[in-house]
Each structure stands twice: as C-alpha cells, then as structure tokens.
Amino acid sequence: MFTFCKPISTKKRFSPLRKLNNDFAFTLFENAKMVIAADWDQITKGETIFLEREYLRLTEKCTNSFLKSRYVVVYSGKKPVGIIYFQVVDFRAEIFGDLLTKQVDTIKSTRLKLFENYIGSNKDEVLMRLFTCGNNLVSGEYGFLFAKNIKPELAHQLVLEITEVIGKEEKLSGAISAVLLKDFTHKLNPEKLFKEEGYTDFFVEPNLVVDIPIGIKTLNDYILLFSKKYRNRAKSILKTGVSLEQKHFLLDEIKLHETEIYKLYEEVYEKAKFKLLKLPENYFSEVKKYFPNQFFITGFYLNGKLTAFTSYFLMHDECLEAHYIGFEYDLNHEYDLYQNILYCNINAAIENGRTKVNLGRTAAEIKTTVGAKAVDLICYTKPQNTISKLILKPFIGFLQPGEWTPRNPFKEE
C-alpha cells in the first residue's frame, strides 16, 4: 500500500519538481503551452503521434469547451524519466438515464430509484466528472510513457500514485466522480496494489487489428489469401465500390468540404453505443494542418456527391491507425460503404508499406471478415463517492463488449 503525498493548494500544485519520495518528483502542467518541451520530447522521442505535444495541443484546442487536459513530467533527480497525460470530462445527467433503466427494473433499491428520478428532473446538470489517464478521443495505451530504464511495475506504481494525488486536487474545482485508466492490452502490475487502492478492472470492446503478411504488395494480393467464400465476398464488395469515386483530400479541400464531412461524421456519431465526446466541426482540418504528412482523409463520391469518408494516421511504428469515419446510412447497404471503407484503409496501409492496420473498436464481427483479429483491452476504474458507485456499475456494464462471432476469412493452413 502506498502512502500518497498530500494534495496541495491550487497555487502550489503547478510548482516544479514536487517530491513523491526520495527517488522521484513530478511537475504538473495545466496546458500544453506550459509543458517543458525538451523534457516531454525526451521521453516521447517522436515514437507515437497521440502523445506528441503537437497532437495533445490540438486536442486541447479542439475540445477546450468540454474537456480539460493535464500534463505530468516525472523526474528522477532533475532528469525526466516519464510522462503522464490526463483528461477531465464532465458528463451531464441525461447521458446516464438509459444506462440505469435496466438496473432500476432489476434491483429493488429505493436509493437507486430516487437517483433515477433525480436524473430525470436534472438532465442538464453535470452529474459525473471523469478523471481519465489516457485519451478519450482515441483507443489505445496513450496515458503514459516511461524511459526504458524504468521497469513497468515501477512505472505503474508511479502512475497510480500521481493519479491519486492529482485526482484529489481536481476536486478543488468540482467533484471527481470516478478515475479511469484506459485501454491496456495486459493487466497492470502489481495487480495487488490496484485492488488495495480500490480499482476495478474490466474489459471494453476490443481493438480490431489487421496484420499485413510479408510479400503483400497490393490489395488483390491480400484478398488472394482468403478462402473462396470470403474472396468472392470481398470481390463483390469492391465491385459495388467501383461506382464510388475515391478522392484524397488536401488541406484546402478538407476546409472546403468540412461541413459535408462533419455531417457524415455526425451520422455515425449519433448511432454510437455511448456518445462520450463529440468532435468540433473544424477538427479534421486542424489535424491535417498539424500533421500534413501523417494524417489523411479519403472521400467517397456517388454521382458527384460526398457520401462517405475515412480518415487515418500513418504512425511511426509501421502501423496505419484508422481514425474517424462517416457515411450515409441510407446508402450503406446498397453500396457497401462501410466495408469499402475498411478495404480502403487496408489498401492504404499496403501502399504505404505498413505491416498493421488498427481498425479500432465497434463492428467487431464485420471487421474480422476483412481479416482483423481482436485484441482485448482492459480498463481500470475507481469510484470517488457513493453516487459514483451507483453510476459505475451500469456504466461499466454498458462499456463491456457484447456477444459476437469472430470470422476467419483466410484459407485454412
């Protein structure tokens, strides 16, 4: 069990080199501009876009009306050995109404029913503040990064201690309802410590990842690896997609079509299982402006009208990271818009020499039909008060993956 250092006043919480113990200290920054660039960059070394200052500054700029960011540099002596990224998001009561309905129906709890009544009459009030180690806009382990000489167990302990300290300090400006550590492919160690500190681990919808085999030069080469059934299916989808004209957007073109792009994004967003955060309309042009050679948008036109788009990052680690998409649902079935988007991403990865395609969460079964495999993701959460305990049970249940059937399109060896 850790003995956490005490939270301090608002004025002093951004003081440099706050001592954790005899070996480590940390500095907290309120915004990306204040972060000491050399210290942060010494840890990231340009290895991952989603922890680079440029992307985090962009995230902050695009979401400053509903999301606050916090940045931490961890030091051994005066040498930076790690970085941690936090987000603070407030959720209004109306979001949780549907989540609690089933719980109220199945559990005879006067307290829970009173709470549901409260939600019904206070829909616009902030009900839960979520303090997240990680990025709520993307899937994956983008909450912290440490130097290679810091062993994972020690890194996890430092993250846990700093999360506890800063989370308590955030209460100075409002009640933190829950802490979330998100999207890990393996359990954090030491497991015992997380349990002692009141954290619960749970699985969320998995990431779907396509591995591009060595020697694959074209999308057709990739599809030839499929069994006859799935090969014919892929050919049928791509044949339907022939009527869709694909166009790669430059920055000026993204700005020109931003309203159309955003409407298509909204169609997908409105059907999302849980509407965590909605992007601002200028998000896509801002990302392209900051990352002109790493972020791309491809539009799909039908009879001269933009009917779908996909966006992706070419990452530094030989991976294509699928980002946000949008399409007209009314045309999806007839023109296989969604599955053409998936094949577009795979084709882009092959053309750019990438060995992996991270297709993200959702629609797991469909993604496995194009060759993706599920990678389980684990999150950790900790309620901060009695009300948050009531909220978190249905909230976690809602985020956990439902039943689905994985498909294997490849030929049997």
**How high is the pLDDT of residue 105?**
46
Residue 181 CA to residue 374 CA, distance in Å, equals 20
Note whether residue 363 is domain-resident: no
Structural domain containing residue 323: 213-354
Residue 256 lies inside a defined structural domain of this protein: yes
Measured CA to CA, the distance from residue 389 to residue 103 in angstroms comes to 13
Whether 64 and 198 share a structural domain? yes
Pairing of strands 25-29, 79-92: unpaired
Q: Is residue 138 part of a domain?
A: yes
- Asked if residue 320 belongs to a domain, the reply is yes
Same domain, 198 and 74: yes
Which has the closest alpha carbon to 81: 27, 12, 32, 15? 27
Query: Mean pLDDT, 10 residues at a time, over the chain (413 residues)?
Result: 51 87 95 95 91 92 83 97 93 56 46 49 60 91 96 96 91 77 93 91 93 96 97 96 95 97 95 77 94 97 97 92 96 96 98 96 94 95 78 71 90 79
SS3 14: coil
> CB neighbours (10 Å) of residue 109?
13
pLDDT of residue 342: 98
Residues in Cβ contact with 236 at an 8 Å cutoff, skipping those fewer than 6 apart: none
Gap between the Cα atoms of 77 and 187, Å rounded:
29
Q: What is the pLDDT of residue 102?
A: 47
pLDDT at 117: 53
- Asked if residue 28 and residue 163 are part of one domain, the reply reads yes
Q: Is residue 362 part of a domain?
A: no
CATH number for the domain harbouring residue 219 = 3.40.630.30
Supply the pLDDT for residue 107: 41
Is 261 inside a domain boundary?
Answer: yes
| Beta bridge mates, 383 | 178
Whole-prediction pTM value?
0.88
Q: Do 135 and 241 fall into the same domain? A: no
How many domains are there within the chain?
2
- The CB-side HSE value for 255 (13 A sphere, CA atoms) comes to 6
Cis peptide before 7 (omega within 30 of 0): no
Same domain, 218 and 315: yes
Is 349 a domain residue?
yes
Same domain, 171 and 231: no
Q: What local confidence, expressed as pLDDT, does residue 1 receive? A: 46
Do 175 and 309 reside in the same domain of the chain?
Answer: no
pLDDT of residue 159: 97
- pLDDT at position 358 is 96
Phi-psi region of 17 (alpha: psi -120 to 50; beta: other; left: phi over 0): left
Question: Mutual orientation of helices 37-44 and 53-63 as an angle, nearest 10°?
Answer: 110
pLDDT of 111: 46
Looking at the fold, whether 328 and 381 belong to one and the same domain comes out as no
Residue-level pLDDT at 171: 79
Predicted local distance difference test score (pLDDT) of residue 300? 98
